A and B are shown apart, each in its own frame.
Chain A
Amino acid sequence: MKTKPKEKILTYFIGLADLALLVLSLLQIFHPIFKLPNLGVFNAKGSIAQAQSRLIITAILMMLCLAIPVLAAGFFIIFKYRDGRNGEYDPDWGQRHNRLQWVWWLFPGLLIALISIINFQSAHNLDPLKAIDPKTKPLTIEVMALEWKWLFIYPDQDIATVNTLDIPQNVPVQFVISADGPMSLFWIPQLGGQMAAMTGMTNHLNLIATDLGSFRGQNSEINGAGYAGMTFTVNSVTPSNFKTWVAAAKQSSPALTAAVYKQLELPAQNVPAATYAPVDPNLYYGVIDRYMGPPSVGHDHG
């Protein structure tokens, strides 16, 4: 089957993007020398973040193809026709070439047409709602953004954690996200993101870690005084280590009851990591329901 020319152009760009990403990953060898942290979104540890960084590089390269010649021509012209240089002064040039103004629409038009294609495709391929592998059952983690800490509930494992998150390598994870407080944004730059956490509703975010390691996670939406400290660590571990971790957590952790949650709910800054087991099974949806109930007089007058 013949590929359409537009698609062909796109494949060239994606090839170039991969090359650029390769160079970037080689550069990362030097990051201790430059004291740079892991190169954030370009140091992807999962297939979603990998695809997103590839998309970013592809789009940048496509735009440079127009921007660099235009800028080069622009500055060349500015200096060539500087008053006192030998550039020919022809004030009526414009009137004779008036129709060129319509040609100019074509160049950015074509570029944006191409970018619109990858815009549409990537918006669907990388839709956070989409299951990563329809054949595998994902690990479900309920995320609750509190003032100012993250509560992660593993409903199938019956454990919960605060500000720390263990996930098995190469297993798709489905984050089910809500909030019990102001709006927050859930982001793990090296795995992908971001998704809003809002009261009374649930958002979904599907991610996967293809590498082992510890990654930084954070809130990216201002939600009050403890905003900057609302970070968490994501540990990608082997599936067998994950099982061991779950078993250990179940043995030695306090239960997450309604009373404990009430304590957890109180605003607090820079909260240390914690683990809970077992977990009140209705906790997550109970919190959501609380925000959907009838108006209660004086409820939100702090």
Chain B
Amino acid sequence: MNILFGNLTWSSLPHEWFTIAGTATIIGGGAFMAGILTYFKRWKWLWNGWLTSTDPKKIGIMYLIVASLMLFRGAVDAAMIWLQQSIAEGPHAGYLTPAHFQQIFTAHGDIMVFFATMGLLFGLINLIVPLQIGARDLAFPFMNSLGFWLYVAGAIMINMFFIFGGEFASAGWLSLPPLAEIAYSPGVGVDYWIWSLQISGLGTLIGGINFIVTILKMRAPGMKLMDMPMFTWTSLCSMLLVVSVFPILTVVITLLWLDRYFGLHFFTATAGGNPMMYVNLIWMWGHPEVYILILPTFGIYSEIVSTFAQKKLFGYTSQVLAAFGVTALACLVWLHHFFTMGAGADVNAFFGIMTGIIAIPTAVQFFNWISTLYKGKIRFATPLYWFMGFLACFTFGGMAGVLLSLPAADYQLHNSLFLVAHFHTMIVSGALFGIFAGITYWFPKIFGFRLNESLGRKAFWFWLFGFLLSFGPLYLLGFLGATRRLDHYNVPGWQPLFIAAGLGLALIGIGALFQVAQIIVSIRDREKNRDTSGDPWNGRTLEWSTASPPPFYNFAVVPTVTGRDAWWENKQKMRDARTGRGQEYQNIEMPKNTAMAIYLSAFAFLASFAFVWHIVWMQIFGLAGVIVCIIIRSLDENTEYTVTAQELEKFEKSPARYL
């Protein structure tokens, strides 16, 4: 082993077509962006205005951008999986080697869950929750920036294998041992997996703590817990799950790393290691993780339904209890991921029944949404279309879930494509459709102009039918005995269904193109679609009471809340109820920008990279850098600045007061 470069050698550099293509994309894309920034002299603007910002709105937008890139990256993986499965029947081997194929679906799962969906959700939570509770910023603005930059470091780390090493983990998205142990996966792929999740997981945990404290401590005066908007409630539930279970992930992958790095035997097949322990622990995190993704989007749907039905949300108390029911039960069902590992009938039945019970609070939310729509005046805007798509798809996905909760049925469906179809239905129609609905709904708030409606609807229809066509056949394939993760099969009858699924994916691709077109056209027509009122949908909650886009301080005067749907009630009482109008301004404290989160994440990234490649000096350097950054930041007492009442008044009066 080389002291300077650890296990890195010349042969670690890209030499296969996909690593060369990946490296070229990363370096080419980076150089292109750098060129544009240099040409338009935007470096300072980027650094001071965005990268070092502690404003949750800007961090939220950056989350959305990075997550969209990762969504694209995951979608390319999905297309490669589809292409292989459509052709690799019988004598045709397909265009991918088994090892490469296995890396692709592993990366697809991890990228979609950790970096696409989680990133989009954190983006929306950052953008909307502070506005909904009438707060100017988060409880810990620096921690928020740190959480974001650790997430970015993780997102870069999961793509580093393109440049150094040439292989990603190939043991499935959770890297189950003993397969992920050094004996069966000797390459650096699993190490990249470990360190990418380790840093981004820490970022998630930090974000979780931050939002819990923010929601509990920073609500506008008068806003009781039971006055909070549903999206804030479900975000709180989601973040409670984050702080409950992400430490399990951190510990369990640390133990896996100790096995791999120091030859310990926590989860090895040999020498008394217990792989089943890993399977239990990772699913104690993994199952709640699914609810971490779904819960906030249920809140988004609640907001959308009551806004577009122009009615108060029906069964608010019930809805809050249901969200908490799901949160609590989420931690009691992990064993249903491995009914087939040989636990007895009693244990399996217990976890199966607990899983079934989760369907109750979930279904209750459906009943409440439908009751909200009843006798409403429903406006068919794009977000409502996404809701309707969700309503239909999620019901059947949920049924598939209850079916899988029967251990005796699961013996026949486990690890089949039926399971794959089930969880894609839940994540795509549950989380992703909800995120799209939320982005469309809050877009005018975030950017100051509406998205094009007609392109949005076209995108929706392609997504919906594409989704049905790509996952319907997978349910059927599961019943036909097709297992997941097949790089090749010998059953001619399966092939038409795999091809149909691929065509569905192509439709989804067209839907995504419409979304891109929607954004481009909307930017072009931004003056026409500008939201001057701050309240384009006739909204109900506080985020609509401030300007679109909101000033960096969110509210010139923090609103006083007397009940649920605070903004709606306000509007009923007076015509021009814009918060703060005509009231007296006071000096406010806002957090300063800081680059420390970037430095800290960069050092954490270096240390992680060094752990992947066994470069001892760089490990020490990276860890020392992290510690020094923490010390410097902790000793810095000058982290806020004052916006005076006069400045505030000037900002409020000038039309170009943002950015």
Q: Do A and B bind each other?
A: yes
Partner of A59, one of B338, B371, B409: B409
* Cβ contacts under 8 Å, A156 to chain B: none
Cβ B363 vs Cβ A107 within 8 A: yes
Alpha-carbon distance A63/B484, docked complex (angstroms) = 25
Cβ A102 vs Cβ B485 within 8 A: no
Within the complex, what minimum Cβ distance (angstroms) separates B96 from chain A? 11
Cβ B412 vs Cβ A189 within 8 A: yes
Partner of B479, one of A40, A74, A101: A40
Given contacts A222-B171, A300-B183, A300-B270, contact A194 B98 (CB under 8 A): no
Cβ A185 vs Cβ B414 within 8 A: yes
B483 on interface, CB distance cutoff 8 Å: yes
B76 on interface, CB distance cutoff 8 Å: no
Partner of B378, one of A63, A83, A118: A83
Within the complex, what minimum Cβ distance (angstroms) separates A228 from chain B? 5
Cβ A101 vs Cβ B315 within 8 A: yes
Q: 1/0 contact trace for A228-251 toward B, CB 8 Å? A: 110100000000000000000000
* Cβ contacts under 8 Å, A56 to chain B: 403, 406, 409, 412-413
Q: 1/0 contact trace for B361-394 toward A, CB 8 Å? A: 0111011111111111111100000001001100
Alpha-carbon distance A128/B493, docked complex (angstroms) = 29
Q: 1/0 contact trace for B482-507 toward A, CB 8 Å? A: 11111111111110100000000000
Given contacts A71-B395, A221-B415, contact A196 B263 (CB under 8 A): no
| B-contacting residues, A288-302, CB 8 Å | 291-292, 294-296, 298-302
Cβ A82 vs Cβ B348 within 8 A: no
Alpha-carbon distance A107/B361, docked complex (angstroms) = 11
* Cβ contacts under 8 Å, B360 to chain A: 105, 108-109, 112
Cβ A125 vs Cβ B408 within 8 A: yes
Q: 1/0 contact trace for B168-194 toward A, CB 8 Å? A: 000110001011011110100000000
The closest CB in chain B to the CB of A148 belongs to B98
Given contacts A39-B480, A199-B269, A222-B179, contact A101 B496 (CB under 8 A): no
Alpha-carbon distance A35/B491, docked complex (angstroms) = 10
Question: Which of B338, B356, B377, B409 counts the most A-chain CB atoms under 10 A from its CB?
Answer: B409
* Cβ contacts under 8 Å, B172 to chain A: 222
Alpha-carbon distance A221/B315, docked complex (angstroms) = 43
Cβ A123 vs Cβ B184 within 8 A: no
* Cβ contacts under 8 Å, A104 to chain B: 315, 318, 363-364, 367-368, 371
Within the complex, what minimum Cβ distance (angstroms) separates B161 from chain A? 17
Partner of B311, one of A67, A94, A109, A126: A94
| A-contacting residues, B408-446, CB 8 Å | 408-409, 411-416
Cβ B317 vs Cβ A93 within 8 A: no
Cβ B373 vs Cβ A192 within 8 A: no
Interface of A, helix, strand, loop or mixed by DSSP: mixed
* Cβ contacts under 8 Å, B412 to chain A: 41, 49, 52-53, 56, 189, 192-194
Which of the segments B117-125, B339-347, B549-557, B590-598 contacts the partner chain? B339-347
Given contacts A107-B363, A200-B269, contact A91 B312 (CB under 8 A): yes
The closest CB in chain B to the CB of A105 belongs to B364
Alpha-carbon distance A73/B373, docked complex (angstroms) = 11
Question: Which of A94, A109, A122, A187 counts the most B-chain CB atoms under 10 A from its CB?
Answer: A94
Interface residues on B, range: 35 or more
B517 on interface, CB distance cutoff 8 Å: no
Cβ B483 vs Cβ A123 within 8 A: no
Cβ A127 vs Cβ B309 within 8 A: no
Alpha-carbon distance A225/B171, docked complex (angstroms) = 10
Partner of B377, one of A51, A66, A81, A203: A81
Alpha-carbon distance A200/B274, docked complex (angstroms) = 10
| A-contacting residues, B254-278, CB 8 Å | 263, 265, 268-272, 275-276
B198 on interface, CB distance cutoff 8 Å: no
A224 on interface, CB distance cutoff 8 Å: yes
* Cβ contacts under 8 Å, B176 to chain A: 183
Alpha-carbon distance A219/B179, docked complex (angstroms) = 14
Cβ B182 vs Cβ A302 within 8 A: yes
The closest CB in chain A to the CB of B308 belongs to A83
Alpha-carbon distance A100/B375, docked complex (angstroms) = 15
B145 on interface, CB distance cutoff 8 Å: no
| B-contacting residues, A270-302, CB 8 Å | 291-292, 294-296, 298-302
Given contacts A126-B408, A223-B179, contact A295 B367 (CB under 8 A): no
Interface residues on A, range: 35 or more
Given contacts A222-B172, A229-B488, contact A101 B312 (CB under 8 A): no
* Cβ contacts under 8 Å, B372 to chain A: 94
* Cβ contacts under 8 Å, A67 to chain B: 395-396, 399
Cβ B349 vs Cβ A120 within 8 A: yes
The closest CB in chain A to the CB of B489 belongs to A228
Q: 1/0 contact trace for B278-314 toward A, CB 8 Å? A: 0000000000000000000000000000000111111
Cβ A119 vs Cβ B318 within 8 A: no
Within the complex, what minimum Cβ distance (angstroms) separates A133 from chain B? 18
B34 on interface, CB distance cutoff 8 Å: no
Cβ A112 vs Cβ B493 within 8 A: no
Q: 1/0 contact trace for A158-191 toward B, CB 8 Å? A: 0000000000000000000000011101010110
Cβ B275 vs Cβ A198 within 8 A: yes
Within the complex, what minimum Cβ distance (angstroms) separates A56 from chain B? 5
Cβ A224 vs Cβ B179 within 8 A: yes
Cβ A40 vs Cβ B353 within 8 A: no
Partner of A55, one of B356, B376, B409: B409
Alpha-carbon distance A221/B487, docked complex (angstroms) = 13
The closest CB in chain A to the CB of B101 belongs to A228
Partner of B406, one of A118, A194, A225, A300: A118
Cβ B367 vs Cβ A107 within 8 A: yes
The closest CB in chain A to the CB of B179 belongs to A182
A6 on interface, CB distance cutoff 8 Å: no
Cβ A77 vs Cβ B275 within 8 A: no
The closest CB in chain A to the CB of B98 belongs to A225
Partner of B486, one of A64, A200, A228, A295: A228
Can you spell out 12 A-B residue pairs with CB atoms less than 8 angstroms apart? Answer: A52-B412, A59-B406, A63-B402, A71-B391, A123-B345, A124-B349, A125-B408, A127-B345, A196-B341, A221-B415, A300-B268, A301-B263
Q: A63-B399, A87-B375 are in contact. List 8 more A-B contacts (CB 8 A).
A: A31-B493, A35-B492, A91-B375, A104-B364, A105-B318, A108-B363, A194-B414, A229-B488
Which 8 A-B pairs rank lowest in CB-CB distance, beginning with the nearest? A101-B315, A189-B481, A295-B271, A108-B363, A37-B493, A104-B367, A40-B481, A122-B408
